[in-house]
């Protein structure tokens, strides 16, 4: 098991890609702290992990609460004596172009998609520096490297995650800490509902994916879990400051 005895924190792990990433880390021997606003979802992830022989704990938390997030991360370190991996995954889509999106929606996007990543990384950094090693993986999006139709809040925040990832990687590589970003494309989870709503429904988005994505289909969450495992494990030990786009080829089409 390539993550044996390591301790990982995954935000937004109560469902979807976050859950799949947490599960594959646990499969490979890590103890995983599941952070999610949805307490039921977090507990369900833990139950699945334990049923498969893994180790996990659930922490119900709103990651946009700076103090609560920092306290939760410090508590994980206090219980286990180490934090080897942080996967900042919690995020949200808020649809709308410049004139249509609400200012509140834009602020919510920033707080969840960018600020919570910043606060979590800031909280784990002293622990990782003291250990002389650590991995931070931030979830951006294919929208973080290209234009996304009438999604100004989402696209702005996801581009910001890419910039923040590169900056932190450059600043902290000398401490043995690697920082990378994952940019998923079309993954079939309820996360996409705002965009699907905006473009006119499931049929429209299915047609869009067939025409615009070279592989011609959605990804399954398990197909994104494998790149997650690569980036948080020693398989990518000389990779930092990089952006891994997993989008079925959409960004080259």
Please indicate whether residue 154 is annotated as part of the active site: yes
Which one from 147, 154, 172, 175 is the annotated catalytic residue?
154
Which two three-digit tokens encode residue 96?
């709308």
Residue 62 phi, psi (nearest 5):
-90, 110
* Torsion (CA) 115, 116, 119, 124 in degrees, nearest 10: -140
Alpha-carbon distance of 125 to 131, in angstroms, equals 10
CA 213 and chain centroid, separation: 22
Alpha-carbon distance of 226 to 242, in angstroms, equals 16
Compute CA distances 144 → 80, 99, 100, 243, whole Å: 34, 21, 20, 10
Alpha-carbon distance of 157 to 144, in angstroms, equals 8
Residue tagged 């025409």 (tokens):
211
Q: What is the DSSP string of 95-150?
A: -B-TTTS-HHHHHHHHIIIIIHHHHHHHHHHHHHHHHT-EEEEEE--GGGTS--TT
What's the number of CA atoms in the CB half-sphere (13 Å) around residue 77? 21
Alpha-carbon distance of 179 to 198, in angstroms, equals 33
Active site residues: 154
């Amino acid at each position: 098991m390539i993550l044996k005895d390591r301790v990982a924190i995954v935000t937004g792990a109560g469902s979807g890609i976050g859950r799949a990433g947490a599960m594959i880390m646990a499969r490979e021997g890590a103890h995983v702290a599941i952070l999610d606003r949805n307490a039921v979802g977090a507990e369900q992830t833990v139950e699945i992990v334990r049923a498969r022989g893994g180790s996990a704990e659930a922490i119900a938390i709103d990651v946009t609460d700076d103090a609560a997030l920092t306290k939760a991360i410090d508590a994980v370190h206090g219980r286990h004596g180490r934090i080897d991996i942080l996967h900042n995954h919690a995020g949200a889509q808020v649809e709308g172009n410049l004139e249509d999106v609400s200012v509140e929606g834009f602020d919510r996007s920033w707080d969840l998609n960018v600020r919570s990543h910043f606060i979590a990384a800031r909280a784990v950094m002293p622990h990782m520096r003291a250990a002389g090693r650590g991995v931070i993986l931030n979830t951006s999006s294919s929208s973080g490297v290209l234009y996304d139709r009438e999604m100004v809040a989402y696209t702005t925040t996801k581009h910001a995650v890419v910039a923040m990832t590169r900056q932190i990687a450059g600043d902290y590589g000398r401490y043995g800490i690697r920082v990378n970003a994952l940019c998923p494309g079309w993954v079939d989870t309820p996360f996409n509902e705002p965009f699907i709503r905006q473009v006119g429904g499931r049929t429209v988005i299915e047609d869009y994916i067939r025409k615009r994505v070279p592989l011609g289909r959605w990804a399954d969450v398990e197909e994104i879990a494998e790149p997650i495992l690569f980036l948080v494990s020693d398989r990518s030990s000389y990779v930092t400051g990089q952006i891994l786009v997993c989008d079925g080829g959409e960004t080259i089409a």
